[in-house]
A and B are shown apart, each in its own frame.
Chain A
Amino acid sequence: MKKNGAAKVQNVAPGAPSRTLVLDNGAHTIKAGYVTDGDDDATDETPKLIPNCIARDADRKVYVGQELEQCKDFSEIAFRRPVEKGFIVSWEAQKEIWDRQFFDANAAQPCDPSETRLVLAEHSNALPVLQSHCDQMVFEEFGFASYYRANGPSLNAYHDVQAIFRTPRDPATVAQLPAEVMLLIDTGYSNTTVTPLLQGKPLHSAVRRLDVGGKLLTNYLARLISLRHYDMRNEPHIVNEMKEQACYVSLDFGADLDRAWKGTRGEKRADYLAGGGVAKEYVLPDFHTRSKGIVRDFDPEQAGHAKKLARLGEATEDVLTLRNERFTVPELLFHPSDMGMRQSGIANLVWESLLAVPTGLWPALLANVCVVGGNALFDGFIQRLQKEIVKLVPDDCIVRVARPANPITSTWVGGAKLAKHENITGLCVTKQEYEEYGAAWVARKFATGSDA
């Protein structure tokens, strides 16, 4: 690492910015933080998570980005999100959020763009119009000194991938960056993508996308609860919390479904009455005494008691009993056809992607399947995915699926490592170059992904 750093200093033209703003501008949260050249040891930085939205609560008070932390009452909150399907669409809103976070006089993460390099992660397969909008805003409006619009998934190759997989090896080995070959699955708020990476570069012809992401899962859960319990369609925030706390990916879908079934008329199934290990109670937040919902084990006796209280109108808390909602919601990632969407599930997506690369790469890709993004946090997700992929691929291939310690910030951390890597100088475009050669040249440079 030290050597690389020293080599870089020589490479860098005089006056090149030493500070880099790494920005993973997700649809749900922005992951942002600064990386300074030279301090190679500080590899464990964590980015700041900023809600990427303009929110309006029931009292019509408006919160921009980070201000959402001050919000006390999330009931009937509505969001405006500048990012759609993973791409920045509404620059009007995005600029306001960035301004307050980075560029205002009293910003939380102040930044002087003219002396800063920007590494911005973008989703694969963007529309050229949106890419050029992004370039123009970065240079013409914010005026960053230099800029790299990186393919988000490929930034993850700058992790020490073998450490994530706990590959047995000599502890003295220095990880090779970027990782030679890996299969990256990014399952975020808007969608899920599969990207095979070779030397940190995406194999574009094999990138596949499934239009199921965290947002859709939240909305689906809201719909199920509205059908079965209370109308929660206007409570995206509460339902999202519920999803994050209570949902899990089932390893045996059929069996879990059986255990959560009420049975036919008059049947008293023991599993249903006792909860069967699936049922959980979710106490809804009321935003006076309780600002966050609580998950607790289903207790049949207390449930009966609570029902009585509710009938009398003396209940002190609103409780939902979640049963098959807990696992049928994340199940959509594996079977989108369950809600009528005509797309392959995530395992078949991996298969489709493999079919587009030469067979010789399969063993290497399958032994290094890495999952990032918020949905990777569902319990059982990794195990289930591994199980499903093993079913599809040839027996001779060893399948290893893993997720980094924090799958949400993983892309950002990879970006931060890239910012310190010597590759970055060859990838960036400076403001002078933009002014001299124009937006089309910049778009082309990023599209061809020239590398040092």
Chain B
Amino acid sequence: MNNFGVIEVAGAKTTNAPGWAYVPDTGHPGLSHQHAAAGGKNSKNRKRAARSTGGPNLSYADMSARQEAKVRKELELLDRDNPRDLSIPIPPKPKGSGRDTAKHTPNVRKILQSQKTFANHLDDWLALKEGGAGNATACAMLAIAGGRKGSAVQQPQQQQQHKKPETPASRGGTSSSKQQSKQEDVEMTDAPDIEAGEQTGGGGSTILSPYRGPLPAPHPRDDDPLLVSRVPSMPADEELKALLAAPPLTYLEARAGWGDEDRKYPVRVFCEVCGYWGRVKCIKCGTRVCALDCLDTHREDCVTRYGL
């Protein structure tokens, strides 16, 4: 760029002018955030570090902590059944329903009276799991969750005796105490006899039977090395058996992650007014809009919220 002959010389002195400053954009915001947390190169300005918690692949200014909190709140709203909090009580039983107000067993009464939401149950379960790592009794409680006492007493002993190796198929290294307890359960004597059943059911040798249907007509160029398709070999029976026997993942483990494949492309941003690509940002609040028309619409909103 032609700077009209003026050459900028980097000075050692930095001025802290109020309101604005040059900030070196060190590229990967996720990394720079980690550095900031560890007292790295971007840690000078704590406020800025706090604001730049945006994840990978967003440009530096795309996600401030404030915006992220907003997104989180909106996602929570989107996940609700009703926009407002409300409680709809169970209506009284219809006449002639033939239902007697029968006694419930204690277990059932407890379940019916429970006002817990799914989030409560999830938190409970996480807490149990955390606490249960060193506490076998809690683990057993978790596994049977209100079951009969007989097996509850047996289970902790079982857990301490067996230390089975993990199946290779379970997610690398993140296996929980819950999973272990479940796996060991397979070996318990009073459980249904699975291994025997699988051997007979799977035909003894193979789980997947070979293809026996009609084959396409042979072609003179079938053996052409350029046309041969590569088919990976089938996994061995042991591998398949281990896969089938793998315990279910926990609720949180099964959740989709934000993988490398997603990181490949930048996150798309949209105009918050009309939904077209968000090509411009409002100077005041950073909201994305597409063009001048939408920017004007947004300004009205922006001014009432933040003032001129």
Interface residues of A (CB under 8 A from B): 54-56, 62, 64, 78-81, 84-85, 87, 89, 91-93, 95-96, 99-100, 103-106, 124-133, 136-137, 140-141, 169-170, 173, 180-181, 193, 198-199, 201, 203-211, 215-216, 219-220, 222-224, 227-228, 233-234, 236, 257, 260-265, 323-325, 328, 335, 337-345, 348-349, 351-352, 356-363, 392, 396, 426, 437-441, 443-445, 447-448, 450-452
Contacts and interface: CB of A to CB of B under 8 A. Distances in A.
B209 A180 contact: yes
A352 B118 contact: no
B214 A170 contact: yes
Nearest to B118: A84
B81 A215 contact: yes
28 contacts: A54-B91, A56-B88, A79-B88, A81-B81, A85-B118, A95-B112, A96-B91, A99-B97, A125-B249, A132-B145, A133-B145, A140-B108, A204-B249, A207-B249, A207-B254, A209-B255, A216-B79, A223-B78, A264-B290, A339-B78, A343-B255, A344-B259, A348-B259, A438-B147, A443-B144, A445-B191, A447-B182, A448-B191
A54 B88 CA distance: 7
B150 interface: yes
Given A129-B124, A451-B197, A340 B74 contact: yes
Given A106-B97, A351-B261, A441-B151, A209 B90 contact: no
B44 interface: no
A335 B270 CA distance: 12
Closest 3 CB pairs of A and B: A105-B98, A438-B148, A264-B291
A348 B261 contact: yes
B274 A140 contact: no
Interface stretch (B6-14, B32-40, B239-247): B239-247
B122 interface: yes
Nearest to B242: A205
Given A92-B114, A95-B112, 17 more contacts: A129-B121, A132-B145, A140-B104, A140-B105, A193-B254, A199-B244, A209-B255, A210-B256, A216-B79, A233-B83, A264-B293, A344-B262, A361-B234, A392-B261, A438-B150, A441-B190, A444-B188
A262 B146 contact: no
Contacts of A357: 243
Nearest to B279: A264
B256 A104 contact: no
Interface of B: 55, 68, 71-72, 74-75, 77-84, 86-88, 90-91, 93-94, 96-99, 104-105, 107-108, 111-114, 116-118, 121-122, 124-125, 142-148, 150-152, 155, 167, 169-171, 178, 182, 185-186, 188, 190-194, 197-198, 201-202, 207-209, 213-214, 229-235, 239-240, 243-251, 253-259, 261-262, 267-268, 270, 272-277, 290-293, 296
Given A91-B114, A127-B121, A129-B145, A343 B258 contact: yes
A324 B267 CA distance: 19
Contact of B191 (A199, A257, A444): A444
B83 A234 contact: yes
Contact of B247 (A204, A437, A438): A204
Contacts, number: 316
Contacts of A210: 256
Given A220-B78, A340-B74, A261 B262 contact: no
A325 B275 contact: yes
Given A358-B235, A363-B232, A439-B148, A136 B78 contact: no
B171 A205 contact: yes
A129 B185 contact: no
A364 to B, nearest CB: 8
A264 to B, nearest CB: 4
A224 B275 contact: yes
A136 B82 contact: no
A54 B233 CA distance: 52
A352 B209 contact: no
A209 B117 CA distance: 20
Contacts of B293: 262-265
Nearest to B234: A360
B105 A141 contact: yes
A204 B112 contact: no
Nearest to A355: B259
A198 B207 contact: yes
B275 A447 contact: no
Contacts of B255: 208-209, 211, 343
B121 A264 contact: no
A414 to B, nearest CB: 19
Contacts of B116: 89
A103 B97 CA distance: 9
B268 A78 contact: no
A89 B118 contact: yes
A439 B107 CA distance: 11
Given A203-B243, A441-B191, A128 B178 contact: yes
B148 A198 contact: no
Nearest to B295: A265
A437 B151 CA distance: 9
Nearest to A215: B81
Contacts of B147: 132, 438-440, 443
Contacts of B84: 78, 234
Contact of B275 (A141, A324, A445): A324
Contacts of B213: 169-170, 173
A339 B137 CA distance: 43
Contacts of B275: 224, 257, 260, 323-325, 328
Contacts of B90: 54, 92-93, 96
Contacts of B112: 91-92, 95
A85 B207 CA distance: 33
Contact of A92 (B72, B113, B214): B113
Contacts of B81: 79-81, 215, 236
Contacts of A358: 235, 239-240, 243
A400 B83 CA distance: 39
A150 B113 CA distance: 26
A176 to B, nearest CB: 9
B257 A439 contact: no
Given A78-B82, A170-B214, A344 B249 contact: no
Which residue of A208, A328, A441 has the most chain B CB atoms within 10 A of its CB atom? A441
B99 A104 contact: yes
Contact of A343 (B232, B243, B257): B257
A259 to B, nearest CB: 11
A396 B267 CA distance: 29
